[in-house]
Chain A
């Protein structure tokens, strides 16, 4: 059953009710969260946009959870660029729900059956404990949605042409799944496929990880799709946006490309970075993500440090809001007396 069904008014009504209940649930079960909301003077929200948002970075500084210690089933971590780590606490129910809902979201473009799958990464990645938490977990999590996996990169991180060829010989004539981080897909799959004339026309590419590195190389999302289409035959491509702090919730690019869409249990609000009010379609701002999945930690209403823009509402491939991610908000840098060390020594 599709999770891309609710029009914006229907979604708002549902999310307003469920997220308001979740807010009360987290207040009752996380003293830290309750103190934050009490200090902010929050009582209730008339709309989804009025719900109190937490900056996503708070999960790097604080231990926020709404379950007792003995019900912690899984602790997810994300490594940030500055070395700080988010810690996300899941109980059994939340862990099951995130897997189930991620599956339901991807089914929208993959269909109900598990497909043969190319992972555009290196198996060696899973052995490296340092990079494991972020990239490895993403790859492993996604691997469960496919079967007969082939790794596109050898243990040294170089393209494994033989592995790709033998996968395509076996599975290339029926639908198959390709997963990887956008930059790696571009660098290691596109280049190799073009050079060696690999036929990816039955592939469905799911990729994430931001466009920044590609934009630095002057490859826009449109260019990415056009070149893949022209040079490899690949036409089904879906970028997605998600974060460990709202694990299980992904915003998926629609079939016509460009915009990201929200599953029925989630939504985005673009906020003006000065007034913090909701931005209309076309006006860029900071992305707030809301989701009913975080039941074990108060991560149901989060302000990201990503900039984005609404492309439209109830006017695209699927119902609801559609949006684009524009980049990251630069990290605030303090001036001050205590800063010689970073380069002193």
Chain B
């Protein structure tokens, strides 16, 4: 299959952009405004979040944070080649936008299977182009091509930084193509994310806080079929008596079912079967001691212990539960694969103690319920604006 341009002009240009370039800022602000239009945000709520991330004040703040005043000059890294995942429709925009804001020339490989929100993003980008400085189309490209090692090799040899999303196998496959000696990879391998619910915290919360927590959690879990790197899977019930934890779990699941029904989210039969296959597989292996399928949209599993929490995807709306005495008890179960840890009902001091106890053994983000999917400039343990720039120091 041949390559085609979904955004930007063919060929490489020798234009130079600055870190926080006004022309890029202007373009991204216009783009964000279009994404925040009610019609777009209604159709694809995740684009509303993207528009919010790209709002002018936020862009300026991010650009300001890139600059330094200690006789150290911050410059764009140069050429950046992005290989985003096919099915998380919007993540490529975040990584591209930050890189563009850093003043890089970017080539983003858009999947041939992209659809839905990704198509809307591309339409919106192109609709923003007529009002933008022509340098944007010359330096920022989004391309689609099928299996073509030659093109991947070509862009790999061109770039100063290669950004590989899409998990372990994608990283391994793309890494077969050599980079220039000075270039390097920024990789986003397979990740697992968790949720933790404080049993005493839940019991102390009033009805509306509980409902809000569940609403936030349901967005985190269902937006990307629970398959995004940051989607919470296992829910750890922390603290309290065992009977209390059971009661909290039941109320949580009841509220979750209500929210899911209200939103009109349905899980189809194929996915329901997939979840049974995985749930029974875990049961057969002894990793779970109870499984329940109250509805296609929700599968709940009782883990035999916190160490049994599965790290692979087991389906959309599948929630293993485990009860532990405290957050610190979870520390030994965490490892480098673990990314987002979303929480409800904990005292800030408990979360700080947990973060410190982790000591870097795993977990990159500790965020409240409802924020698991909220992209941030610090992602997977990387400070992205820092990654997208290079430094020149001056001593006089």
Contacts and interface: CB of A to CB of B under 8 A. Distances in A.
Interface of A: 32-33, 35-36, 38-41, 54-55, 57-58, 61-62, 64, 273-274, 276, 286, 303, 305, 329-332, 334-345
A337 B149 contact: no
Range class of the B interface residue count = 35 or more
A40 B84 CA distance: 39
B229 A62 contact: no
B146 A343 contact: yes
Given A332-B268, A343-B146, A344-B170, A337 B91 contact: yes
Contact of A33 (B188, B279, B284): B284
B225 interface: yes
B365 to A, nearest CB: 14
A338 B270 contact: no
Interface string B229-244: 1010000000000000
Interface of B: 83-88, 91, 111-113, 146-147, 149, 152, 164-170, 172-174, 176, 188, 190-191, 224-225, 227-229, 231, 268-274, 276-277, 279-281, 283-286, 288-293, 296, 302, 313, 315-316
Given A39-B288, A41-B290, A62 B167 contact: no
12 contacts: A36-B280, A329-B273, A332-B316, A334-B227, A334-B313, A335-B225, A337-B165, A337-B227, A338-B227, A341-B169, A343-B147, A345-B149
A57 B270 CA distance: 12
Contacts of A276: 293
A39 B173 contact: no
Contacts of B268: 273, 332
Given A40-B283, A334-B313, A339 B290 contact: no
A135 to B, nearest CB: 25
A58 B167 contact: no
A58 B277 contact: yes
Contact of A340 (B84, B270, B280, B313): B84
Nearest to A39: B283
Contacts of B302: 39
A340 B188 CA distance: 11
A38 B170 CA distance: 39
A62 B284 contact: yes
Nearest to B177: A345
B274 A340 contact: no
Nearest to A54: B280
Given A273-B272, A341-B170, A55 B280 contact: yes
A64 B281 CA distance: 11
A339 B283 contact: no
- Among A39, A55, A273, A341, which residue has the most Cβ atoms of chain B within 10 A? A39
Contacts of A330: 270
Nearest to A32: B284
Contacts of B316: 332, 334
A158 to B, nearest CB: 32
B85 A286 contact: no
